[in-house]
Amino acid sequence: MSGIPRRTFLQAGTGVMTALGVSGIPAAVLSSSSKLSIAPFRLDVTAPVGHGCCGGWIKPIEAVDDTQEAIGFVLLGAGAPIVVCAVDWTGILNRTHLLWRTAMAEAAGTTPDRAAVQCVHQHNAPFACLDAQKLVSAQGDLPNIMLPDFFEQCLDRLRAAIREAIPKAVPVTHIGHGKGRVTEVAANRRIHQGPDGKILGMRGSACTDPALRAMTEGLIDPWLRTVAFYSGDHKVVCCHYYATHPMSYYGDGRASSDFPGLARKQRQQDEPATTHMYFTGCAGNVAAGKYNDGSRGMREVLARRIYEGMVAADHDLHREPVETAEWRTSEILPVPRNPDQAEMLAQAISNRQNAVVGRNRPAFELAWLQRLDAKLPIVLSCLRLNDVSMLHLPAESFVEYQLRAQELGAGRFVATAAYGDGGPWYIPVKEAFPQGGYEVSVAFSDPGIDDELTRGMRQIV
């Protein structure tokens, strides 16, 4: 099993960090709409049989129910090219996230800070962290997290797809935005609290406990938001955003884009000349468990509900000529929650008495600490078109950040994609840390990340 070429890793090191900058000052370019053009691209990223799923602690890929894709677009004419991509994987983390952005940037002729990749977060899919993979590979007895050869193949296909797409770019004349209400899908996972506010239980992606299912939805964002790029009357690219964990059921070794992917694919069939993309919003504390018992038939039911939200948002699209286009970035370098536990994490990885999850999961946290030691920041980005903000956030951010972004962008149409750089794992708001619960237990940064992330959003939204 070969690794990523040394040249590529070097690009993910100090050279690229220099290109990104470390000041946190947003980079923005204003463009005349007459110069804008867009080039959509897509590629199959379904993992091969035997590939690990969700970090390696659930059943690996045995079969494929439906393909997993990476879908994106290159926007030309707003300064250096801008590349945005959504991937049907659990996550892409740390240097591996930078490698993906670097590959997109190389193919498009731009820099990694002008490339954003977000995951949809399906669990029967790769959880891509090559640094964590290196740690588990050294043990010799652990299931794989991300096979380097397969990842390199995906990067090759990614570069080829972008290079093939750019000569076919079409002018962007109009932007559209709309929203549709989604019913009986999303519900807050952290609704079961004791008198002291502590979390007593979680209503996950699926739930069969009638008491938990009877509880209220809790805090969610019920709206599916859509942003569309037009060339004249032709809708070229349609980006859909909704905040919920995207799993109906998982752990059976069958690759799938799950219910949001099935909804997206139905819209693609409806409009084959339009490239449809789906982004999972800030869903760290939001899932379908109130409405989903995990039975096989519920995948299609949930897909239909998302699809109906997409159609409703499409009918609500407000279309206007593009007058301004701008790309802004901001950087954060969070404080680790357990800065002095590298040795303890290494021991957990090597302890063969531990369950797989108790060995592979610490590899992700140790990779996060190593990444912070290297001072590799998280890059937040936002594509602003007229009064539309398309915001890209990291990891499993709580829904409060999405709602906060809308407040920060008062007067603007804010569409938020989370599950970008997954290095921090969960990103609760600061108030959630004293409450405990699963999400807090796997948050790799301290509560200060709330202020850092909010500061970054304020700069760019």
- DSSP per residue, 347-396: HHHH-TTS-THHHHHHHHHHHHHHHHHTT-PEEEEEEEETTEEEEE--TE
- The CA distance from 14 to 10, in Å, is 7
Q: Is the pLDDT of residue 9 over 70?
A: no
- The CA distance from 118 to 91, in Å, is 8
8 A C-beta contact, residue 70 and residue 45: yes
Mean pLDDT of 184-192: 97
| Nearest of 401, 388, 434 to residue 226 by alpha carbon | 388
Domain boundaries, the chain: 6-460
Give, as one character, the DSSP assignment of residue 337: S
Write down the pLDDT at residue 18. 37
Write down the pLDDT at residue 34. 53
- The CA distance from 220 to 191, in Å, is 11
Q: Is the pLDDT of residue 348 over 90?
A: yes
| Inter-helix orientation angle 342-350/130-137, to 10° | 50
Give 3-state DSSP helix, strand, coil % of the chain, rounded to 5: 35, 25, 40
The percent of residues above 70 in pLDDT, for the chain, comes to 93
Q: Is the pLDDT of residue 310 over 70?
A: yes
Write down the pLDDT at residue 263. 98
8 A C-beta contact, residue 68 and residue 255: yes
DSSP notation for 342-354: HHHHHHHHH-TTS
Residue 13: pLDDT band (50, 70, 90) is very low
DSSP notation for 135-178: HHHTTSSS--S--HHHHHHHHHHHHHHHHHHGGG-EE--EEEEE
Six-digit token string for 314 = 């499409």
- The CA distance from 202 to 48, in Å, is 32
Write down the pLDDT at residue 3. 40
Write down the pLDDT at residue 271. 98
Q: Is the pLDDT of residue 8 over 70?
A: no
- The CA distance from 372 to 335, in Å, is 8
The model's pLDDT over 381-412, given as tens digits with 9 standing for 90+, comes to 999 999 999 999 999 999 999 999 999 999 99
Cβ neighbours of residue 64 closer than 8 Å, sequence gap 6 or more: 46, 254, 255, 256
Cβ neighbours of residue 20 closer than 8 Å, sequence gap 6 or more: 111, 112, 113, 329, 331, 377, 379
The model's pLDDT over 218-264, given as tens digits with 9 standing for 90+, comes to 999 999 999 999 999 999 999 999 999 999 999 999 999 999 999 99
- The CA distance from 241 to 226, in Å, is 6
The percent of residues above 90 in pLDDT, for the chain, comes to 92
CB atoms within 10 A of CB 16: 20
Phi and psi, residue 140, nearest 5°: 80, -5
Phi and psi, residue 320, nearest 5°: -150, 155
The model's pLDDT over 23-63, given as tens digits with 9 standing for 90+, comes to 333 444 444 445 899 999 999 999 999 999 999 999 999 99
Rounded to 10 degrees, what is the CA torsion of 348, 353, 355, 357?
Answer: 10
b/e map of 147-175 (b: 16 or more CB within 10 Å)?
bbebbbebbebbbebbbebbeebbbbbbb
Across the chain, what does the average pLDDT equal?
93
Residue 75: pLDDT band (50, 70, 90) is very high
Q: Is the pLDDT of residue 333 over 60?
A: yes
- The CA distance from 259 to 306, in Å, is 8
8 A C-beta contact, residue 84 and residue 41: no
8 A C-beta contact, residue 136 and residue 364: no
- The CA distance from 404 to 424, in Å, is 19
Six-digit token string for 369 = 């600490």
